[in-house]
Structure 1
Amino acid sequence: MRRWALAVAVLAVAWAAQAAAEGKWVKLAPFPDPSEEVYGAAAGGKLYVFGGLAPGWRPKGLVYEYDPATDTWTRKKPMPLASHHVAFAELNGKIYAFGGFVLPPSGPPAWVPIDNAWEYDPATDTWKALAPMPTRRGSPVAAVVGGKIYVIGGAGLHPGSTETAVHPARPHRALATVEEYDPATNTWRPRSPMPTARNHAAVGAVNGKIYVIGGRIGSAFVSTSSPTDLVEEYDPATDQWGALKARMPTPRSAVAWGVYGGRIYVAGGEVQNDQFLAAFRAFEAYDPATNRWISLPRMPVPRHGLAGAVVGRRLHLVSGDVQSAGAGGNTMVHTDAHDAFEFDR
């Protein structure tokens, strides 16, 4: 019994030492406009935060720039179409936005999937409309490989449906759709669908492969979906999806993520059931080279619907909600927290 207890203690100390060796949390300038459903991207050594969602599912269309050199935020021109659950990706200093949801033109609040695509130039603070996506969807993810942008998954309507919007009480579906956008020609083409249809996932590109992590299965809403821990690998060079990878230790959705040093870091997320409405503090990293996960020091503030992006040696995590939303009578609590994990390696 004593040997077993000693072994457990040794393992715990070893894990703590490994986690601490990865880096540390630092607190930075708070976000000026706390909100849920914000999204991050990095360009030109600065962090950009987009989106935001107000009560009644009203998209805010926020755009803020954070300068690490001065630890300050600057408000920029708003998104040309205020929308939420948009996918963002950076390529050659430009930031691209794909899909999302908007409010219906009339009637009760719901999520109308859109096909809009935009290019944002941080240098000039201007937006340009691009060729629309072939598929209307919200809550996809986007990743860059070889000068192309891959927009994966999301949620939308059933084929032939008479529904016009996504709602927890109305039929809709998670999507496996994969579409490739070429900024050089402003054109789209379909690619092989993802094996597991999902939305609210994380994504990262490492060594020419794309990894889709976690998310929601079955529905766009946390109250009517199932969180997943699945990790699937896509090779754009062959347009093939590989075998399942090591599962994420904590099944979750509505996370933030970033890629650094060949690893994909996943932070936060939410869970909801009859017992609790919660946000995660979990901070975990996937290494495609070893197909292994490691757990890292927990986030200072648990939250979901937060923005994340890597600038330099830091993964920035910005704003979000500190409890799960999506149930009637819920109180949504936004935080202005801006924490960054500073990598040691």
Structure 2
Amino acid sequence: MNLPVIHQKHWHGMWRHALAASGLWLSAACGEVTATDQEPMEGAGTPASVDARRQAVVESSCSPDTTPPVVTCAATAVAECGTHVTSYHAEPEPEVSDNCEIYGVWAEPIYASVGTQYTYISVRDMSGNSASCATKWTILDTESPVIDLAGPTEMTLALGEPYAEPGYSANDFCENYGGLFPVTISGSVNSQVPGTYVLTYKATDRSGNTDIKTRTVKVLATQPVSVLTGNTTQSRLRHTATPLSNGRVLVVGGYSRNAEEYNPGTRTWSAVGAPFAAHRGHTASRLPDGRVLVAGGAKSGSASVEELYDPAQGQWSRTGLMSTVRYDHAAVTLYNGKVLVAGGSTSEGSGPVLATAELYDPATGQWSATAPLNTARRNHTLSLLPDGLVVAAGGVGADGVPLSSVEYYDALYARWLPAPSMSTGRTAHTATVLDNGNLLIVGGLTQDPSLGATAELLDRSGSSRWFPAGSMAIARRDHTATLVRGKVLVTGGYNSQTGIQYSSELYDPKTGWSGFSASLNEDRYKHTATQLDANTVLLVGGFSNRDPSATTAELYTFP
């Protein structure tokens, strides 16, 4: 039987005549009385009519009526918090009956709060006999708070512009209906440092339900600028820096056995275990599956040391060894996934210069010999062109003189082919593949010191010839060159007359060199430069007069 009940909180503790309030009407035959939903007769619900009917019951065959009404309701029920409930909201619905006539039914609502609560139904007949039943409610909170962020969820600030929080609020239907709910914020915005900052807003109720919202704030430079970021945990000289597939940067070696990762999101460094050896003058190549192969730059007895780093696991493992110990060699990951290593020397800073080359197969973890270089070389560059050819350029030969010779490695036929020579011998130079497939060679140690400022371009559009590409403002060696938005950023390096450099320069393939760009915070050479995103390059370590510890790092950012 459905009993219409008006659920209003102010009913609590107050008696209401069910006949008058709910339109519940009862048959008059004593001994056969049950609840019905018939329309009341005129005046039937007034106090006078109720008293008259009570008197009729007393004078009827039910008199005296000592039998209480019968009421049953669900023993248990479950509801979500933040609502009003009565026993009539439970299943099965309550049932009410009496041997004569029911005077009233009362179902008092409760406001559901998390935990255990009870609702009651009370019944009284015309003779004053009463009965009741109770429903035990388990009140749950399965809904999370709701966070509302004022203002945009993506913001942009100019470098140096203060960040002002637009505001936020949260509401939880169960715990603070109509009020404010506490919100915790993690993250911060440093408007003096270009980059993308993420603020995280979190609200959790007592039942553990959580809502999380984020706001992204981009701080943009209006002109090129370089700012310091977190220091490395170890000195970094003659190290490598490898961009990982997770967006972080792995730094290995450089007079330290420990390795570490840079997190661009937090601008912090974290140790990632110790490799099996301390590497210097080594190479670090990212494999197609995301692992990093560290080759050479270390030995155990007379054998080389090669190892793998797995960023997904944060673990190091041994792998197959090269056929010979190598320092100051070069490596490149080919389009077939294998790693080509060529040249180098058998000891750090001295020893025979090598012409041998070998291939690492990630599928087997083993090395195999490939055709040797036509010219033994160390401190040279290896560059993978879009057509699959690898360019070995410059370096130092067996006589210690910078080489101008260049050769191509054809991976399809596993052979080295002669290529046009550069205009001058170069070592400790840089080689950068441009967006158009041409190769830009910049600076380096040259026999004529004045040529250390020059650059030249290998044109692969058809003729495969070298062309002059202008000159930097100063000669540099052991600098870095990074392709950023189609342009080449050159940072730091060493100049034989002025020493270690703070300066940077920019090369545009369309317009050439544009002179000095933003200054670095530290003078650096033999450092590393790794592109983080379309606008940002991470500079790490290197020899420095200002930072002898070689632990500083900085972010070079374009507008």
What value does the CA root-mean-square deviation take over the aligned residues? 3.9
After the TM superposition, which residues 63-78 of structure 1 pair with which residues of structure 2 at under 5 Å, given as runs?
63-78=259-274
After the TM superposition, which residues 134-283 of structure 1 pair with which residues of structure 2 at under 5 Å, given as runs?
134-146=323-335, 147-156=337-346, 172-207=351-386, 208-213=388-393, 215-218=395-398, 225-227=400-402, 233-238=408-413, 239-241=415-417, 242-244=419-421, 248-252=441-445, 254-256=478-480, 258=482, 267-270=491-494, 278-280=499-501
Q: Deviations over 1:278-297 (max 9, x none)?
A: 4355757899x99x988773
Shift of residue 277 of structure 1?
9.1
The AA in structure 1 aligned to 2:267 is D
The normalised TM-score by structure 1 is 0.67
Return closer, same or farther for 1:27/1:230 CA change in 2, 3 Å cut-off: farther
Q: Deviations over 1:4-63 (max 9, x none)?
A: xxxxxxxxxxxxxxxxx996544322323233222110112001111122xxxxxx2121
**Is 2:479–2:490's contact at 8 Å kept on the other side of the alignment?**
yes
**Is 2:373–2:416's contact at 8 Å kept on the other side of the alignment?**
no
After the TM superposition, which residues 95-106 of structure 1 pair with which residues of structure 2 at under 5 Å, given as runs?
95-102=292-299
Correspondence 1:337 to 2:541: no
Return closer, same or farther for 1:212/1:167 CA change in 2, 3 Å cut-off: closer
Aligned partners of 2:369, 2:410: CA distance in 1, in Å?
Answer: 14
Secondary structure of the 2:238 match is: strand
**Is 1:175–1:199's contact at 8 Å kept on the other side of the alignment?**
yes
Correspondence 1:130 to 2:310: no
Aligned partners of 2:516, 2:382: CA distance in 1, in Å?
Answer: 18
Corresponding residue for residue 290 of structure 2? 93
Aligned partners of 1:197, 1:286: CA distance in 2, in Å?
Answer: 31
Corresponding residue for residue 544 of structure 2? 322
The AA in structure 1 aligned to 2:296 is G
Return closer, same or farther for 1:167/1:67 CA change in 2, 3 Å cut-off: closer
Aligned partners of 2:394, 2:230: CA distance in 1, in Å?
Answer: 29
Shift of residue 166 of structure 1?
5.2
For these two proteins, the number of residue pairs brought into alignment is: 283
Aligned partners of 2:481, 2:304: CA distance in 1, in Å?
Answer: 24
Q: Deviations over 1:117-173 (max 9, x none)?
A: 2110012111111111122211212111111111122111xxxxxxxx5565xxx22
Return closer, same or farther for 1:246/1:183 CA change in 2, 3 Å cut-off: farther
Q: Deviations over 1:186-218 (max 9, x none)?
A: 232333333443323444434133344554444
Aligned partners of 1:26, 1:204: CA distance in 2, in Å?
Answer: 30
Shift of residue 233 of structure 1?
4.4
The AA in structure 2 aligned to 1:279 is I
Corresponding residue for residue 96 of structure 2? none
Corresponding residue for residue 13 of structure 1? none
The normalised TM-score by structure 2 is 0.43
**Is 2:406–2:420's contact at 8 Å kept on the other side of the alignment?**
no
Secondary structure of the 1:237 match is: coil
**Is 1:214–1:251's contact at 8 Å kept on the other side of the alignment?**
no
The AA in structure 2 aligned to 1:341 is Y
**Is 1:202–1:215's contact at 8 Å kept on the other side of the alignment?**
yes
Correspondence 1:33 to 2:234: yes
Corresponding residue for residue 4 of structure 1? none
Return closer, same or farther for 1:204/1:118 CA change in 2, 3 Å cut-off: same
After the TM superposition, which residues 4-23 of structure 1 pair with which residues of structure 2 at under 5 Å, given as runs?
none
Higher relative contact order (CA 8 A, sep 6+): 1
**Is 1:51–1:84's contact at 8 Å kept on the other side of the alignment?**
yes
Aligned partners of 2:515, 2:409: CA distance in 1, in Å?
Answer: 24
The AA in structure 1 aligned to 2:229 is L
